[in-house]
Structures are given as structure tokens and as C-alpha cells.
């Protein structure tokens, strides 16, 4: 039986458990709340808070997620109290002396982290803001100051924006949770970077993924697991195209869930896996839901809920749900909702899921009715044009509205009023990121007058959206390459034979006519007879000699590199 209580103005949930006492403190703040120019600030606060707790012999941890930041502890009652009270004390007075060190720790942590399947889906669905921010590294860390941290704590790490859960017999004595007062922070409304759905975009070889956003319900959770069963059966057991075909069910906001399906494969099988996944989704959408699959999923879920109730495993999810404004349902209410789900309910969820779907695959899925998500901008800005240097093909245009990179078949534009982050390097390099996720690079080394372009950009981007980067090594600074005039091909056997035959013909021809012409012109100084005849013959020898020299050069070239090709711009 779950009970509600309150400590220090913080609401809490209590439930008995068969194991040692566990407790957690969660705040309604995550990376979805962070502007891209401050990406990483919540994670940094979490690290600073845990450092003050010190090294202990019990298990504790913290985690910064999409919408919530959690601190968790398992151990004896007195240790739980010391941990939670210590976290609250640290939040009121962060150890700022550790700021530089913890930034380095976070950079090292990010270096060892692998990207999740969801990250590119977030980026293409939401762009570079709110729920799409998780697709980006913590690029804001270098610019975060002590004042930024204090302001973030005052806004988000307050008693009104927190929730507590305790798995044990009673709320531990001595728990105070001395947090500053504030206001409950609502969940952000998700933005959209997709003009229409269902949509698709290109991904890496060897992986096909699909996600959707649907209303939160018992039928949605059953649909997610029925989909996994069908994908596993189709792609693993029957066709052998995939090793791991699975789904994920992630509640977001108050009443939404994101369902993600992913299947790995060999690169050459990605088209077949895409077709198989689309077929399974279409089957469910058409209402062909096997009642046996629905029954099996519900039975498994009911068994899992009863076990989770015994060990209080449901408490963390229910607690953050309370912060999100969701009802706290006991296990019997959840089971009743599950057992009422029918195949028709699953089919209805599948229809809505298809309409909001987004597919990532190496090959296009427009043949299945998925619109291609636009990878570029619709129009360029008007302004000063900076021509490319060397082998660079894109023109850089900077105007009052923003900056564009313009190529014959590609157009990227970031408007200054929609620029969510500009990374700035001391050498002049600039990376502009728009709210829609479009990126424009401005490198002064790649465009004529590039320094002037950077000055125009710096004057237009608000300072709070700029993050200064560390000095780049010279080899990291892009440089234009000039077109090489040295051939990169080698001669074939037939080309070498042709070259040798050419030398056999042109060498004697050149020597004979060159020597003859020289002798004839020398004879003019010693023999006055037949002067006109001598001059005519000598002049005829000159072009034959020139032709021979050209033939020798071409023959040597052909022996080494093959036939000469015309240059192309």
C-alpha cells in the first residue's frame, strides 16, 4: 500500500519493501529545460552536489535525465538520512571550488559514453531545443559560471519542485530536506522540426529505428510490447535478418509516451529490415492484432507489476509522475487497466502511432508513405556574399537576418533570432546552430574576406548564446585545398606499349629533322648558293621537330600515367 507524506514541504511516497531501505529525491528539471548554450548545467549541479556527500560504504548515485534529476540512496536508515540531508545542504551551498575539476570530469564521462538510438530521433523530431537538446553534447559547460549555477538552483532545485520516495517501513527520523522555496516548474511543450508526419531520414548502415508519440494509456504500453514480439518473430526468428529487435516505452510530459523500436542488421540487409518493420507496423495499423499476443503481453505485465510491488520498484516512477501531474495508481488499478485492453484498443493505438511515426534507415522509406524530413533550409538570407577558396564549393552569405551556406544542391541557413548556440574558436571559426537543428559553419580560412564575415556574425549573435571554445591545434583548422595537377592514375600495359611505340617513332623523327634544320641554317653562313632553297627546307624542319618533341612528351606521359584527360571545373 502506497502512502503519501510530506517532509520539509516536499511531497513524498512511502511503500514497504522486502529488502534494505531505499530512498530518492527527484527534481523536475532535466536537459529538456536547458538552452543549448547552457547544455550540461543540470548535470554539473548533480555532480557538485554528490561531491559534498563524500565517499561512503553504502550505495548512492545521481542521474540527470530528460525531464527529471534524481538522487538515490540504499542503506541503513541513518545513512539514508545523512545522504538526503547532505544533498540538500550541498544544493544550498555548492562547492564552487570544484567547478573546474567537475567540468573536466563531465568531459571525461562524455568521452566514454555511447550515443543512444534515441538521440538522432530527438534531433530530427524536435530540432535543437527542449526534447531535442539531448541529442547534443554538453557544449555549454565551458561558459557556465558560478552565478549561472546559483540561478539554476534557485529556479529548479526547490522544495516546490521536488518529490521524495521511501521504500521502507516508515519515513526515517531526522529527515529535514532543507531546500529553498520556489515554484513548481511545468514540463516544456515539445517543439517540432518536422513539417509533416509520418516522416523518414537517413541513418547509419546496420540499424533501422522507428519512434512515435502517443497518448499515455494501458493500451499504449501493451501496443509497445506486442510490437516487440512481432518484430522479434519477423526479423529474428523467421527471416534471421536481425539479432536484436526490441522496443522502448518512455513516458514524457503529463500524458504522452514515446515508443521506440530498433533492429540491428548487416548493412546489406538494412533494406529488407526496413521493409519488415514497415510491414509489421502496417499489419497492426490495419487491425490484424493477434489476441494471443495481447494476452501474453498482459499476463507478463501483470506478473511484473505484482513483483515490483513487493520490492517497491514502482515508487521512483510514481514519484516523478507525481511531479509531472500524473495520478498515483495503486497496483490493482494498474492491473485493472491492463486487463481491460483488447486487440481493437491496440489497433487504435497503432493507427495513431503510424500517423506520428519517424523512421531512421540507411535507405529511403517514402515508398511506404513516409515523407522525407527536410535536411536543408528553404531559403538563403540576403546580404554580403563571401566567395569560396580552393576546392571549397559553398558560398557564405551573411546578412542582417542570419547566415547561409549556399551550394548548387544544398542550402543551410541559420537565422540570428533562431540561433540557439554559437561555438566560437579563437582562430575565428564559428559554428551556428539553429533551433531546427540546421548547422552553418563559418571558417575564415575557407572564404575570401572570411574575417569580415566573422565580424558580421559576432555582432549579430546575442552574447548569452555564445560559448567560447579552447584553442584548436593548427591541423584542426580547415584549409582550402588547391586542385592538383599531378595525375593520380597509373598507366595500363597497353598504355605503356603505346608510349614506347610513340618514342620509337618520335625520337628518330625529332633527332633527324632537328639536326637537319640546324645543319641547313649553319650552312647559310658558309655557302651562298641556293640560299632560298636552304631557308625553305630549314623552316620545314622546325615544325616537324616541334611535333616530335610534343610526341616524345606525350609518349612519356602515357607510359607513366595513361592517356591525358581534360580538366573539369
In this structure, are 358 and 390 located in the same domain? no
pLDDT at residue 344 greater than cutoff 90: yes
Residue 509: the pLDDT is: 82
Q: How far is CA 513 from CA 163, 164, 510, in A?
A: 101, 102, 6
Query: Residue 348 sits in a domain of what CATH number?
Result: 3.30.830.10
In this structure, are 12 and 158 located in the same domain? yes
pLDDT tens figures, 175-215: 999 999 999 999 999 999 999 999 999 998 999 999 999 99
The number of folded domains in the chain is: 4
pLDDT tens figures, 293-311: 999 999 999 999 998 888 7
pLDDT at residue 523 greater than cutoff 80: no
Question: What is the model's pTM?
Answer: 0.82
In this structure, are 438 and 537 located in the same domain? no
Is residue 345 a part of any domain in this protein? yes
Residue 512: the pLDDT is: 85
More confident residue, 470 or 486: 470
Single out the residue of 366, 352, 434, 355 nearest to residue 196, CA to CA.
355
Main-chain phi, psi angles of 433, to 5 degrees: -120, 125
**CB crowding 498-521: b at 16 or more within 10 Å, else e:** bbeebbeebeebbeebbebbeebb
Domain that holds residue 435: 384-472
In this structure, are 320 and 361 located in the same domain? yes
Is residue 104 a part of any domain in this protein? yes
Is residue 223 a part of any domain in this protein? yes
Q: How far apart are CA 450 and CA 445, in angstroms?
A: 6
Residue 18's pLDDT band (boundaries 50, 70, 90)? Answer: confident
In this structure, are 268 and 349 located in the same domain? yes
Main-chain phi, psi angles of 72, to 5 degrees: -130, 145
Main-chain phi, psi angles of 311, to 5 degrees: -105, 10
In this structure, are 242 and 331 located in the same domain? yes
Is residue 361 a part of any domain in this protein? yes
Long-range contacts from 104-111, C-beta under 8 angstroms, 24+ separation: 105/47, 106/40, 106/43, 106/44, 106/47, 106/138, 106/141, 107/138, 107/141, 110/137, 110/138
pLDDT at residue 540 greater than cutoff 90: no
Q: How far apart are CA 452 and CA 471, in angstroms?
A: 20
Is residue 203 a part of any domain in this protein? yes
Residue 559: the pLDDT is: 75
In this structure, are 261 and 285 located in the same domain? yes
Residues facing 424 on adjacent strands: 430, 468
Is residue 334 a part of any domain in this protein? yes
Over residues 500-521, mean pLDDT: 80
H or E segment and range at residue 244: none
Rounded CA Rg of the chain:
35
Residue 56: the pLDDT is: 55
Q: How far apart are CA 248 and CA 148, in angstroms?
A: 35
pLDDT tens figures, 375-398: 999 999 999 999 999 999 999 999
Amino acid at each position: 500500500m502506497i502512502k503519501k507524506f510530506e517532509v520539509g514541504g516536499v511531497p513524498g511516497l512511502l511503500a514497504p519493501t522486502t529488502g534494505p531501505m531505499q530512498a530518492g529525491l527527484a527534481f523536475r528539471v532535466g536537459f529538456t529545460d536547458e538552452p543549448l548554450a547552457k547544455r550540461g548545467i543540470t548535470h554539473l549541479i548533480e555532480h557538485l552536489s554528490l561531491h559534498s556527500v563524500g565517499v561512503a560504504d553504502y550505495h548512492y548515485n545521481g542521474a540527470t535525465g530528460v525531464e527529471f534529476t534524481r538522487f538515490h540512496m540504499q542503506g541503513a536508515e541513518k545513512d539514508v538520512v545523512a545522504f538526503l540531508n547532505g544533498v540538500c545542504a550541498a544544493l544550498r551551498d555548492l562547492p564552487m571550488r570544484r567547478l573546474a575539476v567537475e567540468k573536466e570530469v563531465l568531459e571525461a564521462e562524455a568521452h566514454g559514453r555511447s550515443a543512444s538510438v534515441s538521440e538522432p530521433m530527438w534531433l530530427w523530431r524536435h530540432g535543437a531545443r527542449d526534447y531535442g537538446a539531448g541529442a547534443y553534447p554538453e557544449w555549454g559547460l565551458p561558459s557556465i559560471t558560478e552565478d549561472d549555477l546559483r540561478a539554476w538552483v534557485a529556479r529548479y532545485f526547490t522544495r516546490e519542485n521536488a518529490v521524495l520516495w521511501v521504500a521502507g517501513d516508515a519515513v526515517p527520523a531526522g529527515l529535514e530536506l532543507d531546500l529553498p522555496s520556489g515554484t513548481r516548474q511545468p514540463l516544456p511543450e515539445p517543439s517540432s522540426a518536422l513539417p509533416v508526419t509520418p516522416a523518414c531520414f537517413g541513418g547509419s548502415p546496420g540499424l533501422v529505428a522507428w519512434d512515435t508519440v502517443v497518448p499515455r494509456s494501458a493500451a499504449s504500453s501493451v501496443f509497445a510490447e506486442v510490437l516487440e514480439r512481432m518484430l522479434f518473430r519477423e526479423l529474428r526468428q523467421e527471416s534471421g535478418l536481425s539479432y536484436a529487435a526490441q522496443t522502448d516505452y518512455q513516458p514524457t510530459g503529463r500524458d504522452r509516451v514515446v515508443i521506440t523500436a530498433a533492429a540491428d542488421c548487416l548493412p546489406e540487409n538494412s533494406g529488407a529490415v526496413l521493409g519488415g518493420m514497415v510491414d509489421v507496423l502496417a499489419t497492426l495499423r490495419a487491425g490484424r492484432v493477434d489476441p494471443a499476443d495481447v494476452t501474453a503481453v498482459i499476463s507478463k505485465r501483470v506478473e511484473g507489476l505484482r513483483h515490483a510491488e513487493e520490492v517497491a520498484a514502482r515508487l521512483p516512477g510514481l514519484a516523478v509522475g507525481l511531479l509531472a501531474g500524473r495520478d498515483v495508481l495503486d497496483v490493482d488499478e494498474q492491473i485493472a487497466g491492463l486487463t481491460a485492453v483488447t486487440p481493437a484498443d491496440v489497433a487504435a493505438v497503432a493507427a495513431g502511432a503510424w500517423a506520428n511515426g519517424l523512421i531512421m534507415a540507411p535507405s529511403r522509406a517514402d515508398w511506404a508513405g513516409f515523407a522525407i524530413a527536410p535536411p536543408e533550409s528553404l531559403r538563403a538570407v540576403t546580404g554580403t556574399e563571401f566567395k569560396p577558396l580552393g576546392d571549397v564549393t559553398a558560398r557564405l552569405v551573411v546578412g542582417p537576418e542570419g547566415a547561409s551556406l549556399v551550394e548548387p544542391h544544398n542550402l543551410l541557413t541559420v537565422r540570428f533570432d533562431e540561433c540557439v548556440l554559437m561555438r566560437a574558436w579563437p582562430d575565428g571559426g564559428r559554428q551556428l546552430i539553429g533551433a531546427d537543428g540546421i548547422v552553418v559553419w563559418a571558417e575564415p580560412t575557407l572564404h575570401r574576406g572570411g574575417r569580415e564575415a566573422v565580424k558580421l556574425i559576432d555582432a549579430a549573435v546575442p552574447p548569452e548564446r555564445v560559448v567560447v571554445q579552447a584553442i584548436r591545434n593548427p591541423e584542426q583548422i580547415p584549409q582550402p585545398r588547391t586542385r592538383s595537377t599531378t595525375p593520380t592514375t597509373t598507366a595500363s600495359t597497353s598504355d605503356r606499349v603505346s608510349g614506347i611505340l610513340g618514342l620509337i617513332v618520335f625520337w628518330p623523327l625529332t633527332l633527324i629533322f632537328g639536326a637537319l634544320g640546324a645543319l641547313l641554317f649553319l650552312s647559310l653562313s658558309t655557302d651562298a648558293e641556293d640560299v632560298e632553297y636552304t631557308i625553305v627546307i630549314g623552316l620545314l624542319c622546325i615544325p616537324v621537330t616541334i611535333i616530335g618533341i610534343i610526341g616524345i612528351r606525350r609518349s612519356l606521359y602515357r607510359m607513366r600515367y595513361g592517356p591525358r584527360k581534360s580538366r573539369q571545373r
